[in-house]
Amino acid sequence: MGAKQKPVQKKPATAKPISQGGLGDYAQIDVRSAQDLERWLKAHHKQDKSVWITRWKQGTKFHVPLPDIVAEALAWGWIDSHTRKLDDQRSLLLISPRRKGSAWSALNKTYVAQLEKAGRLQPSGRAKIEQAKKDGSWNFLDDVDKLIEPPDLKAALKKTGLLDAWRRIAPSQRRGLLERLKQAVKPETRSKRIAEMVTAAQKS
């Protein structure tokens, strides 16, 4: 009799690295339910590298609402960012471990409060919050979320007679511009962004 053949062992499936919009090569994870994302984060939340997750369009069998994805990511100390179209049925959403110094929005703080109340906030997520409260990033965007104009922007808008026009811009757009201004590090960058905001007020 011939030698008994050993069964062939299959290697576990691995995610295929893809590049989207020059944002780097990241693995793509197929997410068809909130439970899929929870299982993946439970197993991989300690890794340093971002991943693309698939998002099925609303109305399809595997659609997962964005708030559910954002909340689950926050529970494990991760955060969502860029989106890209994949095909007619799916898009890609980049999720990443939250970095030290990453600012917290009022919306994300609301999600955190809901997670805490539901007992879903994980130790890794709680650690990111404690770190943010220590380094100041937890409160960094408080004035932005309240749509408070910093003195230099307010002076520029008053000088051009555009303060009222600025305040007629949609709150979501103003908030985005205010956050972008606050993130400016160099004085010349800040001056340039104030000029852009004055222009936005002129066009409103």
Q: What is the pTM of this model?
A: 0.81
CA-angle at 54, arms to 52 and 58, nearest 5° = 140
Q: Determine, yes or no, domain membership for 6.
A: no
Last residue of a domain, one of 91, 111, 135: 135
Q: Which domain holds residue 169?
A: 146-203
Closest CA to 80 of 66, 63, 94, 97: 94
- pLDDT by residue (tens digit) across 41-99? 999 999 999 999 999 999 999 999 999 999 999 999 999 999 999 999 999 999 999 99
Same domain, yes or no, for 126 and 28? yes
> Quick check: is 2 in a domain?
no
Please indicate, yes or no, whether residues 91 and 186 belong to a single structural domain of this protein. no
| Distance between CA atoms of residues 20 and 23, nearest Å | 6
* Average pLDDT of the residues of the chain: 91
Structure-token pair, residue 162: 């555009």
Q: Assess whether 119 and 22 both reside in one domain.
A: yes
Work out how many domains the chain is built from and give that number. 2
Residue in the structure block whose two tokens are 């909130």: 34
pLDDT at residue 203 above 50?
Answer: yes
Domain boundary among 115, 135, 155: 135
**Which residues fall within 8 angstroms of residue 155, CB to CB, at 6 or more apart?**
none
Rounded to an integer, what distance in angstroms lies between the CA atom of residue 14 and that of residue 85?
A: 22
- Give per-residue pLDDT as tens, 150-181: 999 999 999 999 999 999 999 999 999 999 99
102 and 160 share one domain: no
Angle among Cα 159, 148, 196 to the nearest 5 degrees reads 50
